[in-house]
Amino acid sequence: MAELLIVALSIYGYALFSERFSMSAVTAPMVFTTVGLLVGGGGLEWFDLELEGEGTSLLVEATLVLILFTDAIRIDLRKLRRQAALPARLLIVGLPLTILAGTVMGAAIIPGVGLVEAALLAAVLAPTDAALGQAVVSDRRLPVRLRQGLNVESGLNDGIAVPVVTVLIAAVAAEVAGGASDWTGLAARQVGFGLLAGLLAGVIGGRVLVARIGSDSVEGVYRQLGTISVAVAAFALAGVLDGNGFIAAFTAGLAFGRVAPDHCSGIGDFTEDEGELLSAITFLLFGAILAGPLLTELTLTTALYAMLSLTVVRMLPALIAMIGSQTFIETRLFLGWFGPRGLASILFALIVLDELPSESGETIFSVAIWTVLLSVYAHGLSANWWTGRLAQRLENEPDPMPEMEQVEELPTRRRIL
């Protein structure tokens, strides 16, 4: 019960000063991670929760399902088609190059890590989390097109990374077992049945809900509860079919958003508080039971990879992706730097640790956790400063630049006030 009291008091304490924090360089992930580091295994040791415990696993799964589903439904694909150039560059060109660069870097500098393990580590760290630098997607001084690009990238790349992580986990598991298992068949079942479960839940659930709402048969709050149940049903159905539930949740969100677009805006408001709560708890647990115990185990190669992952591995692909965009060089550097690693990478790392109880799994987990820990503070502290600097630079530019083009704004994980 002491752990529950710490979580409650931490959230309550942050709430009392949240307005002041929102105007500073200190982000919520920084605060909750710091609290976790202080009270957890690397600090006062007041937080005695098992990493492999059922409660931790349930929180991980619930958080990732909610993130994947709501990220998918809040991206309006019809609107996105008219303004997809910038996020498309980051997703279609930047994301694969980021995984490739991370693979080469990992295999080159981390002892005992082969090419497949390095690829898995790179895929775990490929998704970005705009919430770690909230000002980047919420500061209205910055042009909508820039905020939108990073917002859409962050919303879609975690879902795109799920099947990649799934396939690579199967490949590493087969390699650890001496190649005896049919990892390609396992990966195909996980991805294929995950997609099938997501499509069935999203399309059928969306169409039936729309029909019932149209006949005034659904009470207000149950529109949102019914929508969330689609995500849970997709995840559970995938498990029944031996598919990947996270792929199913993301696919269900895309399908639901397509067949029931008029009912997606309300779910964003409904899940914002729940998502913020799960995020706060996750970052506190991240500091207490994931990062804290690793504070005394930092190696030179882990530190080097973490720094390179947040700089060269992310920024060089982003710069390549933006070739020919006619945007400022500083804008391209800004887009490259603000690829923070957050919730999705934490949750993927935990899945790797659970699925790969081996030395390679522990190495991937450790490097990923250190990279996220560095990202929490580096991106959080730099967000306000660089956002203000770039906004001022663009405002003073006499000729309109491509990044200043007006586009329709899509919702973020947190409402922009």
What is the per-residue pLDDT across 18-46, written as a single tens digit (0 to 9) for each?
888 877 888 899 999 999 999 988 888 88
| CATH number, domain containing residue 262 | 1.20.1530.20
Tokens representing 148 are: 């939108």
CA–CA gap between residue 20 and residue 14 (Å, rounded):
10
Could you tell me if residue 416 is inside a domain? no
Q: How far is the CA of 243 from the CAs of 182, 189, 191, in angstroms?
A: 15, 6, 6
Contact by Cβ (8 Å): 162, 123: no
For the segment 270-288, the average pLDDT, to the nearest whole number, is 83
Q: Does the structure show a pLDDT above 90 at 81?
A: no
84: exposed, middle or buried (Cβ count in 10 Å: 0-12, 13-18, 19+): middle
Q: Does the structure show a pLDDT above 70 at 367?
A: yes
Cβ partners under 8 Å of residue 89, min gap 6? 321, 322, 325
The fraction of the chain above a pLDDT of 70, given in percent, is 89
Provide the number of structural domains found in the chain. 1
What is the per-residue pLDDT across 89-119, written as a single tens digit (0 to 9) for each?
999 999 999 999 999 999 999 998 999 999 9
In a 13 Å sphere around the CA of 139, the CA atoms on its Cβ side amount to 24
CA–CA gap between residue 239 and residue 216 (Å, rounded):
33
Contact by Cβ (8 Å): 4, 109: no
Count the neighbouring beta carbons within 10 Å of the beta carbon of residue 261.
16
For the segment 383-406, the average pLDDT, to the nearest whole number, is 82
Among 287, 372, 270, 278, residue whose Cα is nearest residue 59? 278
Q: How far apart are the first and last CA of the chain?
A: 36
Amino acid at 187: A
Higher local confidence (pLDDT), 206 or 214: 206
Could you tell me if residue 26 is inside a domain? yes
* Residue range(s) defining the domain that contains residue 178: 2-404
Tell me, what's the pLDDT at 323?
93
Contact by Cβ (8 Å): 135, 384: yes
CA–CA gap between residue 232 and residue 249 (Å, rounded):
7
Tokens representing 171 are: 């490949």
Lowest model confidence (mean pLDDT) among 128-142, 153-167, 286-300: 128-142
Cα 343 → chain centroid: 5
Could you tell me if residue 409 is inside a domain? no
Q: Does the structure show a pLDDT above 70 at 268?
A: no
Contact by Cβ (8 Å): 377, 46: no
416 falls in which pLDDT band (50, 70, 90)?
Answer: very low
Tell me, what's the pLDDT at 337?
95
Helix 144-176 to helix 95-109 angle (10° resolution) is 50
346: exposed, middle or buried (Cβ count in 10 Å: 0-12, 13-18, 19+): buried
Q: What is the reported pTM?
A: 0.89
Give me the residue label for tokens 């720094």.
Answer: 307
CA–CA gap between residue 411 and residue 269 (Å, rounded):
10
Tokens representing 213 are: 């709402």
Cβ partners under 8 Å of residue 183, min gap 6? 170, 171, 173, 174
Q: Does the structure show a pLDDT above 50 at 141?
A: yes
Could you tell me if residue 411 is inside a domain? no
Give me the residue label for tokens 């560095």.
Answer: 374
Torsion of CA 308, 311, 316, 319, to 10 degrees: 170
Q: Does the structure show a pLDDT above 70 at 270?
A: no
Could you tell me if residue 413 is inside a domain? no
The fraction of the chain above a pLDDT of 90, given in percent, is 46
Could you tell me if residue 417 is inside a domain? no
Contact by Cβ (8 Å): 18, 372: no
304 falls in which pLDDT band (50, 70, 90)?
Answer: very high
Tell me, what's the pLDDT at 274?
74
266 falls in which pLDDT band (50, 70, 90)?
Answer: low
Q: Does the structure show a pLDDT above 50 at 169?
A: yes
Among 246, 248, 241, residue whose Cα is nearest residue 198? 248
Tell me, what's the pLDDT at 139?
81
| Mean pLDDT for all residues in the chain | 86
